[in-house]
Amino acid sequence: MNSEVPVLAIIVPCYNEAAVLSLTVKELVSRIDRLVADEKIAATSYVCFVDDGSEDKTWELIKQFSSEMDSVKGIKLSTNFGHQNALLAGLFNEMERADCLITIDADLQDDVSVIEQMVTKHSEGCKIVYGVRDSRESDSIWKRHSAQFFYRLMKFLKVKTVYNHADFRLADSKVIESLHRFNEVNLFLRGIFPLMGYKSDIVRYSRAKRQFGETKYPLRKMASFAWQGVTSFNTSLLRLVTWVGVSMFFVSMLISLWVLIAFLTGNTIHGWTSMLLIITLFSGLNMICLGLIGEYVGKIFLEVKQRPRYLIDEITTTPSDTQ
């Protein structure tokens, strides 16, 4: 690999993306060809599609494109391991073949035209270049506001993230080697990359609407992913449980004092309403606190198992490999 003209690998995780895959291959291969012609990247640069256990014809299409073009490669996971693990599979498998690696979703909502800016910033010494959404006009009102709330919450909890950045980024192979040392199962790459502290920069773009296929992040998955980010990088919620317990202790002391005064003055309360409200409040808070503790215990349970984060079933061969 030539450090002056880097080998670029574009990692594209795919899950049931047969409807959009042909357009994605065309756009990304065309972008690579243009950068090669401008001598920005090496002629051996390529696109690597990672099939994350798709149930449609995604893998068949990847194999077809790989057999026709040297600049297209495919990795098939044995089952659906999730978006973040599919990214890792592509990054770790290709980090020794490329000088820099870009991750981008297959739906082409991220603007591929800024890839050139990313490569330029890498050549200027940046180890990580984040793609940052300049506008969320293509998102629904609910998704736009919930995403902005999530980033503000992460900032409030002192978790390092890049505002309005998803998983569209360039990373130097050295960064990916460092990422390989992070063995955690509960993955939140948007927090791990800023945590590593390498020299970084951003490029801004407007996110487009999905052209074909359906979103792979409905509300349920978005909420689960956001919760993963909050609980994987911060223990503030556990500390909150402690403060809730302290607060409830003082509240209970005040209630006890009130009950004692009422008893001594002969103004005891007849009925069950006030007692029922107090019991309900304490029971609800106890269940919430137990649930938060359970979330963290569950994460410990997953971490100590040390199960593999992905399993590769098959890797395609290109025309030059068969010669």
How far apart are alpha carbons 234 and 211 in whole angstroms? 36
HSE-CB for 296 with a 13 A CA cutoff? 15
Using only the alpha carbons of the chain, give its radius of gyration.
25
Say whether pTM exceeds 0.75.
no
**Helices and strands, counts by H and E, the chain:** 10, 8
Mean pLDDT across the chain: 80
Q: Give me the pLDDT at residue 323, please.
A: 52
**Residue 5 near residue 15 (C-beta atoms within 8 A):** no
Residue 146 has a pLDDT of: 65
Instruction: Kindly list the strands in the beta sheet with 200-206, ordered across the sheet, starting from the edge strand earlier in the chain.
Output: 200-206, 128-135, 165-172, 100-103, 8-14, 46-51, 72-77, 312-315
- Span of 75-84, 131-140, 265-274 with lowest mean pLDDT: 265-274
Rounded mean pLDDT, 58-71: 92
pLDDT the model gives residue 200: 92
> For residue 130, what are its two tokens?
């984040």
DSSP label at residue 319 = G
pLDDT tens column, 260-272: 676 677 666 565 5
Backbone angles phi, psi at 135, to 5 degrees: -150, 145
- Whether 2 shows a pLDDT value over 50: the answer reads no
Model confidence at 49, pLDDT cuts 50, 70, 90, reads: very high
Q: CB of 78 within 8 A of CB of 315?
A: no
DSSP type of residue 184: -
